[in-house]
Amino acid sequence: RSRQHLDWQTRFEIVMATAQGIAYFHEQCRNRIIHCDIKPENILLDENFCPKVSDFGLAKMMGREHSQVVTMIRGTRGYLAPEWVSNRPITVKADVYSYGMLLLEIVGG
């Protein structure tokens, strides 16, 4: 099976739409959702390369009145924010860190 390389415009559209999806469940859902496992395998692409964030099995819901949650370490090594490793409370910033790692992989090819 041959691998298709994506052009820069397509990569840009994927990362922007993925960021919009993550921002949606962080800021626009009634309860905030921290995904806890943002990684390439959990970003599904349709036939038009439109990304869908998937696999909410490790996700944590957080009421709007809260800004952080305490939970056991969860996620995929290599995409975990430093606060996971040091057992500090988790915020939506943990997903932003994981998204940054994903972004590096997309830019790096």
State the catalytic residues.
37
Distance CA 15, CA 103 (A): 7
Q: Which two tokens stand for residue 5?
A: 């390389």
